[in-house]
Amino acid sequence: MKELALTLEDTQWEKTEITHDRHVARAIVVDEGGFFYFVRVVRDDIFGNGAFIETAGGGVEAGETPEEAIHRELKEELGANVEVLCKIGTVSDYYNQIHRHNVNHYFLCLVTSFGKTEMTPEELEEFELSTLKLTYEEAFEEYKRCAAKPWGVLLANRELPVLEWANEWFSSKE
């Protein structure tokens, strides 16, 4: 399958100026049973309040490749060791509220084992990150539910095409 390449605008907040770029490694994580793993993020900040679904992942650190970052991030947020099955692609999007352009590098990953999460205090306390284990259909519906709020719209716009791509990839392997 051809890698995904999307560029999305922030449709929820007025664009003023973009002051910085952030490279992010994210993953659609699946287990042998076909369940998908996400993080639940609880927010009450500049983006609004609510609980949202999001793919696990985070910033690519200096000197790190996106693939190295995804292994680190999945261990931290999900406690998961994974095999990278393939690169899904890149989604470029904007968060006008914080003047940021994100370059999201998405991977499709298979869980090889679970251990203890290694979340930062900010992830645990400020965002109350927790793990969601869902079927494809449940994840799709959860993104739609979260899209009732502005930040959820940005997440759904970014991640539903990635989730659909992953589902098509699995279907092509059957």
- The pLDDT value given to residue 24: 97
Please tell me the pTM assigned to this model: 0.92
C-alpha pair distances (Å), 19 with each of 59, 72, 88: 17, 27, 27
Structure confidence by residue, pLDDT tens digits, 27-43: 999 999 999 999 998 87
CATH class for the region spanning 4-173: alpha beta
Per DSSP, the three-state class of 52 is strand
Least Cα distance to 42 among 99, 158, 122, 134 occurs for 122
Structure confidence by residue, pLDDT tens digits, 103-114: 999 999 999 999
Question: What would the mean pLDDT of 71-94 be, rounded to a whole number?
Answer: 96
Confidence of residue 47 (pLDDT cuts 50, 70, 90): confident
C-alpha pair distances (Å), 171 with each of 26, 56, 77, 164, 168: 21, 22, 27, 10, 5
Confidence of residue 151 (pLDDT cuts 50, 70, 90): confident
| Structure tokens that stand for 4 in this block | 């995904």
Least Cα distance to 146 among 25, 42, 14, 67 occurs for 42
